[in-house]
Structure 1
Amino acid sequence: MTETVHRVGPGGLRPGLDPQGHIEREGSPERVPHAFRPVVAAARDRLPDVLGDRLHSAYLYGSVPRGTARVGRSDLDLLIALRAEPTDADRDAVRTLGDDLDRAFGQIDGVGALLYSRARLLSDLERYDLGWFVACLCTPLLGEDLAEHLPRYRPDSRLARETNGDLALLLPRWRDRVAAATTEAERRRLVRFMSRHLVRTGFTLVMPRWNGWTSDLHEMAEAFARYHPERAEELRSAAVLGYEPTADPGLLRSYVDDLGPWLAREYTRVHGTKTPRPGD
């Protein structure tokens, strides 16, 4: 794995960058594994019926459009842009669609959908967070591609700050979720979620120095390890758990009481804090 993240492309570029040093858009319809194409087709066909004229565009993200999804293990991740702010009725309709797809297609393990308005995705406030997410991590599925209205992005400190510079704000909420998790299934979901979030935060902490992009958790952990060997094994372990979670309550406590606070302090020291959002 170390060889992978140390790989340098033509002209000395890190992986994930184009010849000008911008982050390349990951994923494409051509990379969707054959087993998942019927699921993607069903989502594409049904979303207009579910949301009607409120739907502006829809995107795939995650392992399915990257071509790394595992049958029976991976979920289908969707980002949906609406012409107005999403309502509870929109969320309920999309949740019902996700449940229907999950029941109909055994090759997926659930459907996750993010709903935002077109205006928010293109807003100045979200330019280096949700905007970057659409432009670099999302694959168009339906409608106008909002990436055409967004800039090219470099793996710099501003991007690091605006994508993951809010860990300190999240940790109190995480502690509440850990305290409320009473079943193994709930704890396993939290381990998967928090492991992934911490690895991505650790990676973006060092991303400007590493000067590249990857969405692979193991590669992220190895990039982090180059600059923080004192925490390397914790990130490597979290990368494994991001794919194969356990239900260990002690691990969750270590995330919210040790690794998480350390990462939050280091992030603030290096990149500052994310621009506050309404309701923070």
Structure 2
Amino acid sequence: MAETVHRPGLDAQGYIEREGSLARVPRAFRPVVAAARDRVPEVFGARLHSAYLYGSIPRGTARVGRSDLDLLVALREEPTEADRAGAGALGEALDTEFPQIDGVGTLLYGRARLLSDLERYDLGWFVACLCTPLLGEDLAEQLPRYRPDSLLARETNGDLALLLPRWRARAAEADDAESAENADEARRPLVRFMSRHLVRTAFTLVMPRWNGWTSDLHEMAGAFAAYYPARAEQVRAAAVRGYEPTGDAAVLRSYVDDLGPWLAEEYARVHGVKAPRPPQADQSRPEPPTSAA
């Protein structure tokens, strides 16, 4: 049996290290982060438990004018429509004020859900390993340490088969745009989103064997390629589109009719299927581990 190799992203004990920090925020983005830190409490008041950055800005790989500001806000109770409206308004204001970012995304969750047994190896792992504390008490202190094992793989990305019907519907909606130009523009964010999701899923499929963690799309695709050479070219191409998406309808068709179904079937065979979530848990796990560098 081949010896297990110690890969990047792990500490000396083999646990996934937290990947970002406020010290890594590039100088150009520090005013944005400071503004978010000041304004988040104004929006949520006493309902706020804690807030976090994730993605390329706290990893130190953000590009001026290209990267977005990604926030996760933990509330003391489940988010309401008023909370979501407040988050949307805050995001629009920051995006307008700071040209160095290209959009703001804010995820809202109740504290109890983030710490629940059901989410321990999905949203809990996300907070503990991929989020950087910005405000309040860090929930990571109440969560376990995580290894890149099959349980983590199953609970993070073992639901691809459930997502594919929605993806097909969204691709069809883009095809129905009034003009070819509009359709191309509608497909571009879908290609970006699906490319990232598929590359991340391909990576976590092999993550326990690769035995490490990375948030870089190209590194993810390379890790996958070592174990599935027949699909390597598809996943490497998806990694490229995750950073520089196209509006090609054929790309979306290949995702929802070929790569996606194959990956979902192989994932279920290797790791099993993610534990089902209740209908009210309508916010799926975010895509931040592959946000643009």
Task: Using structure 2 for the length normalisation, give the TM-score.
Answer: 0.91
Residue 232 of structure 1, CA deviation = 0.3
The SS at the match of 2:191 is helix
Inter-partner Cα distance in structure 1 for 2:205 and 2:42: 41
Whether the 8 Å contact between 2:26 and 2:60 is mirrored in structure 1 is yes
- Superposition map of 1:95-174 within 5 A: 95-174=88-167
Note the C-alpha offset of 1:14: 0.9
1:201-238 CA deviation, whole Å, 9 max, x = no partner?
00000000000000000000000000000000111010
1:260 aligns with 2:256: no
1:269 partner amino acid: R
Structure 1: 5+ residue runs without aligned partners? Answer: 1-10
What residue is the counterpart of 1:223 in the other structure? Answer: 223
Tell me the equivalent position of 2:16: 23
**8 Å CA contact retained: 1:199, 1:217:** yes
Q: 1:13–1:19: 8 Å Cα contact kept in structure 2?
A: no
- Aligned position for 2:247: 247
> What is the aligned partner in structure 2 of residue 7 from structure 1?
none
Identical aligned pairs, as a percentage? 79
Between the aligned partners of 2:244 and 2:98, the Cα distance in structure 1 is 21
Query: For structure 1, which segment, 11-20 or 95-104, has the greater mean C-alpha deviation from structure 2 after superposition?
Result: 11-20
Is the CA contact (8 Å cut-off) linking 2:207 and 2:213 kept in structure 1? yes
CA deviation string 1:183-207 (max 9, x = no partner): 3222110000000000000000000
Report how far residue 12 of structure 1 moved.
5.6
1:5 maps to which residue? Answer: none
Instruction: Give the distance between the partners of 1:100 and 1:252, measured in 2 at CA.
Output: 32
SS in 2 for 1:202: helix
**Secondary structure of 2:275 counterpart:** coil
Moved over 2 A (4+): 182-185
The CA distance in 1 between the partners of 2:131 and 2:186, in whole Å, is: 28
Once the two structures are TM-superposed, the CA of residue 45 in structure 1 deviates from its matched residue by: 0.3
Q: Which residue of 2 is the match for residue 233 of structure 1?
A: 233
Q: What is the TM-score with the length of structure 1 in the denominator?
A: 0.95
Instruction: Could you tell me which runs of 5 or more consecutive residues in structure 2 were left unpaired when the two chains were aligned.
Output: 282-293
